[in-house]
Amino acid sequence: MCLGIPGKITAITDAARLMAMAEISGVRREVNVACVAGVDLEALVGTWVLIHVGFAMSLIDEDEAARTLEALRDLGEAQEALEQMAAADEALA
Amino acid sequence: MSAPALKFASEFRDPAAARVLLAAIARKADEIGATREKPVHVMEICGGHTHSIFRYGLDKLIHDGVEFIHGPGCPVCVLPMARVDECVEIAEKPGVIFTTFGDAMRVPGHRKSLIQAKSAGADIRMVYSPLDALELARRNPGREVVFFGLGFETTTPSTALSIQQAAREGLTNFSVFCNHITVPEPIKALLDDPDMRLDGFIGPGHVSMVIGIHPYDFIAADYGKPIVVAGFEPTDLLQSVLMVLTQIAEGRAAVENQYGRVVPEHGNPVSLAAIAVVYERRPSFEWRGLGEIDASGLRIRPTYAAFDAEEKFGIGYATGRRNVPELEGCACGSVMIGKLKPTQCPQFGKGCSPEMPLGALMVSSEGACAAYWQYAGAREAAE
């Protein structure tokens, strides 16, 4: 919950609500981008972000994303985050 | 350096860098006269850091004169049992869908944990984000959807932004049971505790991503202790320990940022603004093991009272104070603030294990007891 997981923004899905699609370790998940959004929302597409509980909190570069993901995998935190996303999909079903 | 240390170091992404850092730490520790008998006490505040230290065996690899003290930085672990009871009370109300991060499901309450309440029939759902709870509220207009808002400054913006979104949409069936807490205040409480001897701190990187580094200025200015905000890779942690020791060796105390690639000096302005608009400080908040700490918890401002589960259901701080004691024989409180090692708790591995946790420190992967259980045992067997 406390450690963010890197994801890549692939599309803006709802500009009014500042929502975007992110790809996180092969899983697609809609995230809020309010905390990283500049004037041009579309400029976020293709960038890497650190995602905390569904909110992109920081822009990071690709190398940082890879290093963070590796550290999270080592700690079992990446798997935990992905399991929580799957559990949430079930809760919403 | 001994052979087992090299074996551990070979698991690092960059073992060469780790070896260089460990050697530099050893030189610095010798320089300031730190020994096994008279160690420098460095507190890592964040549960994620505690987890990383155990995962890589940093506590064993590092010079004998450096001792890690595990701080109260796991939000699930510092939650007093009474708050878990209040979660269960809300969840058992008719018509409620209670949503929570999975981490909190197995934390014991006096009557039951959330997972036990769920199997007894309460509608409790694990979500990944408060946005999931918001979506549940949209899809279930006839139900009351409550989100268990838990965590330090890293997760606080997410619930603040979700409440603002709910207000914009005019949702009337969404509320947050707010248990957000802050990092600087318990550090101050620990520094004021005459029984604690702390020489320096490793600050939580992702908290500072939100709040920046200046909320820690008082640690250096008023208490004369170094603090270094750190990332989560093992080499980040080692480098941060080296920075703390270097300050001590030079007779300095400052707030330094090791994790500049993610942590801006002044934090994230959008997050800080959302927190300031939606939340205000409670006069005090109860922490497991630390008791009441002034201004250490947040509550929802009256402007957003319609989204405050405490107000909506007349529970918790909204009802006046209830003082519910912690379980007898559970030493989570002393372990939390580093006064006891997990293995010194009489219940460790006996009445309390990850399968049957008695205290919260054994539940969360970021709790010191669970980390000891998972890694220390295997390590001792290997040695």
Same-domain check for residues B85 and B149: yes
pLDDT at A40: 93
Does residue A59 sit at the B interface (CB-CB below 8 Å)?
Answer: no
B8-25 average pLDDT score: 81
pLDDT tens string B219-231: 999 999 999 999 9
Same-domain check for residues B64 and B93: no
Q: Which residues of B touch A30 (CB under 8 A)?
A: 131
Most B CBs within 10 Å: which of A24, A53, A77, as the mutation test of the B interface?
A53
pLDDT at B377: 65
C-alpha dihedral sign at B377, B379, B381, B383 = negative
CB contact under 8 A, A64 and B136: no
Task: List the single residue in B with minimal CA-CA distance to A88.
Answer: B127
In a domain, B26, yes or no: yes
CA dihedral B83, B85, B90, B91 (to 10 degrees): 120
In a domain, B173, yes or no: yes
Task: Check pLDDT > 60 for residue B10.
Answer: no
pLDDT at B379: 60
CB contact under 8 A, B48 and A3: yes
Q: How far is A12 from chain B (nearest CA, A)?
A: 16
Domain boundary among B319, B344, B363: B319
Most A CBs within 10 Å: which of B138, B210, B232, B374, as the mutation test of the A interface?
B232
CB contact under 8 A, A91 and B157: no
Same-domain check for residues B236 and B364: no
pLDDT band at B358 (very low <50, low <70, confident <90, very high): confident
CB contact under 8 A, B55 and A1: no
Contact A77, A68 (CB under 8 A): no
Same-domain check for residues B283 and B363: no
Task: List the single residue in B with minimal CA-CA distance to A74.
Answer: B55
Q: How far is A8 from chain B (nearest CA, A)?
A: 16
Does residue A51 sit at the B interface (CB-CB below 8 Å)?
Answer: no
Task: List the single residue in A with minimal CA-CA distance to B374.
Answer: A75
Residue for token pair 């105390």: B253
Task: Check pLDDT > 90 for residue A2.
Answer: no
ipTM of the complex: 0.94
pLDDT: is B261 or B73 the higher one?
B261
Same-domain check for residues B275 and B336: no
B70-74 average pLDDT score: 87
pLDDT at B378: 58
CB contact under 8 A, A88 and B132: yes
Q: Domain containing B21: what range?
A: 3-71+213-257
CA distance B201 to B49: 12
In a domain, B236, yes or no: yes
In a domain, B191, yes or no: no
Count how many domains chain B has: 3
pLDDT tens string B32-59: 999 999 999 999 999 899 999 998 999 9
Q: In this predicted structure, which of A62-71, B37-46, B59-68 has the lowest mean pLDDT?
A: A62-71
Interface of A with B in 67-86 (CB under 8 A): 67-68, 70-72, 74-77, 80-81, 83-85
In a domain, B200, yes or no: no
Task: List the single residue in B with minimal CA-CA distance to A16.
Answer: B165
Contact A48, A25 (CB under 8 A): no
pLDDT band at B343 (very low <50, low <70, confident <90, very high): confident
Same-domain check for residues B299 and B364: no
Determine phi and psi for B178, rounding to 5 degrees. -85, 120
DSSP alpha helix (H) spans, chain B: 3-9, 15-31, 47-55, 58-61, 81-91, 114-119, 130-139, 156-169, 184-192, 205-211, 217-221, 234-249, 269-278, 309-313, 332-336, 368-371, 377-382
Task: Check pLDDT > 60 for residue B381.
Answer: no
Q: Which residues of A touch B212 (CB under 8 A)?
A: none
The full set of domains in chain A, from first to last, is 5-92 (2.30.30.140)
Task: Check pLDDT > 50 for residue B216.
Answer: yes
pLDDT tens string B146-194: 999 999 999 999 999 999 999 999 999 999 999 999 999 999 999 998 8
Same-domain check for residues B218 and B244: yes
Task: List the single residue in A with minimal CA-CA distance to B165.
Answer: A17
Does residue A30 sit at the B interface (CB-CB below 8 Å)?
Answer: yes
In a domain, B340, yes or no: yes
pLDDT tens string B244-285: 999 999 999 999 999 999 999 999 999 999 999 999 999 999
pLDDT band at B374 (very low <50, low <70, confident <90, very high): confident
Strands B144-151 and B174-180: parallel
Q: With CA atoms as reference, report the closest residue to B181 among B262, B284, B305.
A: B284
CB contact under 8 A, B128 and A2: no
CA distances from A21 to A8, A56, A72, B223 (A): 8, 11, 21, 45
Q: What CATH number does residue B235 fall under? A: 3.40.50.11750
CB contact under 8 A, A2 and B154: yes
Same-domain check for residues B312 and B167: yes
In a domain, B221, yes or no: yes
pLDDT band at B1 (very low <50, low <70, confident <90, very high): very low
- Amino acid B343 reads T
pLDDT band at B300 (very low <50, low <70, confident <90, very high): very high
How many Cβ atoms sit within 10 Å of the Cβ of residue B123?
18
pLDDT at B2: 39
CB contact under 8 A, A54 and B150: no
Task: Check pLDDT > 80 for residue B369.
Answer: yes
pLDDT: is B154 or B76 the higher one?
B154
Same-domain check for residues B346 and B238: no
Same-domain check for residues B94 and B30: no
Same-domain check for residues B170 and B56: no
CA distance A49 to A52: 10
In a domain, B128, yes or no: yes
pLDDT tens string B78-125: 888 889 999 999 999 999 999 999 989 988 888 999 999 999 999 999
Residue pairs between chains A and B whose CB atoms are closer than 8 Å = 133
Q: What is the mean pLDDT of chain B?
A: 90
How many Cβ atoms sit within 10 Å of the Cβ of residue B35?
12
Same-domain check for residues B277 and B173: yes
Please give the sequence-ordered ranges of beta strands (E in DSSP) within B249-379, or none if there are none: 255-257, 279-281, 284-287, 291-294, 298-300
pLDDT band at A46 (very low <50, low <70, confident <90, very high): very high
Determine phi and psi for B177, rounding to 5 degrees. -90, 100
Q: How far is A18 from chain B (nearest CA, A)?
A: 10
B322-335 average pLDDT score: 70
Longest dimension (CA), chain B: 67
pLDDT at B380: 60
